[in-house]
Every structure is written in structure tokens, then in C-alpha cells.
Structure 1
Amino acid sequence: MFESKRSKLIFGIIFDLIGMASYIIPGIGEFTDIGWAPVAGYLMTKLYPGKAGVAAGIITTIEELVPGLDIIPSFTIMWVYNYFIKKEDPTQVIDVDA
């Protein structure tokens, strides 16, 4: 499900929109982040396995828990980092020990 660049981007945008949805109900919406924060962190680690995914999962969890930071599109930022800044396709990792 989360294998191609395109599917990761689509799901990332959807997850960012879910995180930002707490702004629809001012005041009460921030309480929904208590439930969404660990789910978002877990989904981040599933989208991007490895150390970078774990680090992004922790950052995403914290970002969702802190009031006012939901506007940050952490899933989309991680996608940009993974495919444009890091420029490494995780499906094409070569094992040098073989």
C-alpha cells in the first residue's frame, strides 16, 4: 500500500489533512490530537521505515501534541526530504556485504 512515491505522497497529504482537521472545531479540536498524535507517529514509521522514519514519527507525535503546530505538514515534509533532499530510493538499496 505504501510502496510507490505517488502513494506515499497521496497518503501523506491525507494524513496531514486529518491532523489539520482539529482546527475545524476551535478549542475542542485540540483534544482530538491526543488520540491522533500516536496514530500519526505510527503511520509515519510505516510510510518511511528505518531511522529517518522513526525520528520523523517521534517528531510528528510531538508536533501533533503541541497546540498550534498542527498546521505543519510533517508527512509532506518527510516525503520531500526522502525523495528530493536525501535523493535515495529506499526500494533500490544495494547490499554491499553480498
Structure 2
Amino acid sequence: MKKKSQLEAVDTKTRDLILGILFDGIGMLSFTIPFLGEFSDVVWAPLSGFLMMWMYKGNIGKIAGTFSFLEEILPFTDIVPSFTLTWIYNYWIKKDE
């Protein structure tokens, strides 16, 4: 299997952080519209799970995608920045292992 160059790894890391912050922001938008916002989570929850699995491959993506879906579909849990937390795990914590 071909290894990524150092530049490609930095680009992926930056891309994932920017997209993660954007997607967390979209997920938190439902708090701005009381009651109606929770209904928007029905559309956003599966999309966020898919996007998480697209961004992070393997077991990390599957687990984070499931967590992201549940976090978005359950009421009043939108405040959890699941994309950013996954980025921190993937690029800071897991890196040290």
C-alpha cells in the first residue's frame, strides 16, 4: 500500500478540521430555531453519520459515524461537537499510540 506524502497528510488533516468545524456548526444550527430545529435533525442525522464515515475510514469512521448519527437524532444533544472530537482523537490522541 502506498504511503501518503507528508504534504498530503497535512492537507488531509487541515481539510478534516475545517470540514469538521463546518459540519459541527451545521449540526448546532438546529438550536437557533426552537422546536423546528429538532425536526431538521431527522435530515441532518443520517447525513452527518455518512459524512463522518467518509472523512474517517475504518473502525474510527464507523464508530464516529454511529455516534454522530445518535448525537444528532437525540433531542438536545446537538451541542456535542462530534466532528471536532473525532478530529482530536484521530490526529492528537491516536497519533500518540
Unaligned 5+ segments in structure 1 are 89-98
Mapped partners of 2:31, 2:77: distance in 1: 11
Query: Which runs of structure 1 show a deviation greater than 4 angstroms over 4 or more consecutive aligned residues?
Result: none
Mapped partners of 2:67, 2:12: distance in 1: 23
1:1-98 aligned at under 5 Å gives the runs 4-87=12-95
* Counterpart residue type for residue 67 of structure 1: P
Identity %: 51
Mapped partners of 2:16, 2:45: distance in 1: 19
CA RMSD of aligned residues (A): 1.0
Mapped partners of 1:64, 1:4: distance in 2: 25
Aligned pair count?
86
Shift of 1:4: 1.1
Mapped partners of 2:58, 2:73: distance in 1: 23
Decide which structure has greater helix share. 2
Mapped partners of 1:23, 1:84: distance in 2: 29
Shift of 1:55: 0.6
Mapped partners of 1:72, 1:59: distance in 2: 10
Mapped partners of 1:9, 1:43: distance in 2: 13
